[in-house]
Amino acid sequence: MSTGGTASDGAVISASSANAANATARVFEWPIRVYWEDTDAGGVVYHSIYLNYFERCRSEYLRAAGVLQRELREQQGIQFVVVDMNVRWARAAQYDDQLVVTAQYVETRGATCTFRQTIHRNTLEGEVVATAECRAATIDARTLRPVRMPKTLLAAMEAYSVGAVAPSITEANASAVRGAKHEY
């Protein structure tokens, strides 16, 4: 059973023990409905569309954590790229299904961070449609080379994962951003 509140964009923020390895980490929930554009002629969601659902949920997780990706790129010259993703499809999602996509921050190592994700039918307690583990890296937006995740970014993600209110990293560190391109 999850507990928590609702973000201004309708996403549900919960603290769940669904993942035994990371039981205290916040699980971010993001609802989505399956549209015809997501399916084949039989109304079954294409396998690649699940990746879009996972990506959108991770992006909304970061936004809820105060990480505004556009500002991160424009002000600090850093962006995220997926470097590894393992997906397991358990059941087919179909046209007009209501799904709940989750993202849970697991860890950061150097330039990479790991998220565990799940897609459920109807509710968080509903049937599992797919699961994924995604490893994303921070890169220099100009050179596209990996860079260690800045301390401010790491702090925002870690604070949010344990339920703390995380201010926008760009607001909290505006003067630092002007003075230094990256803070490690």
Angle at 131 (CA atoms; ends 127, 137), nearest 5 degrees: 150
Average pLDDT of 26-46? Answer: 96
pLDDT in tens, 77-92: 999 999 999 999 999 9
For 1-64, give the DSSP string: --EEEE-TTS-EEEE----GGGTTSEEEEEEEE--GGGB-TTSBBPHHHHHHHHHHHHHHHHHH
pLDDT of the residue at 43: 97
pLDDT of the residue at 47: 95
Average pLDDT of 158-183? Answer: 54
Which pair of structure tokens corresponds to residue 29? 């929930």
Residue-range domain boundaries for the chain: 3-166
pLDDT in tens, 39-64: 999 999 999 999 999 999 999 999 99
Cβ atoms of 100 and 110 within 8 Å: the answer is no
Cβ atoms of 149 and 137 within 8 Å: the answer is no
Active site residue 40: yes
b/e per residue 14-51 (b: at least 16 CB within 10 A): bebebeeebeebbbbbbebebeeebbeeeeebeeebbb
- Any idea how long the chain is? 184
Confidence of residue 164 (pLDDT cuts 50, 70, 90): confident
Q: How far is CA 64 from the centre of its chain?
A: 9
CATH numeric code, 3-166: 3.10.129.10
Task: Report percent pLDDT > 90 for the chain.
Answer: 72
- Given 40, 84, 96, 97, the catalytic residue: 40
Q: How far apart are CA 159 and CA 130, in angstroms?
A: 27
According to DSSP, the residues that pair with 132 across neighbouring strands are 87, 117
Q: What is the pTM of this model?
A: 0.78
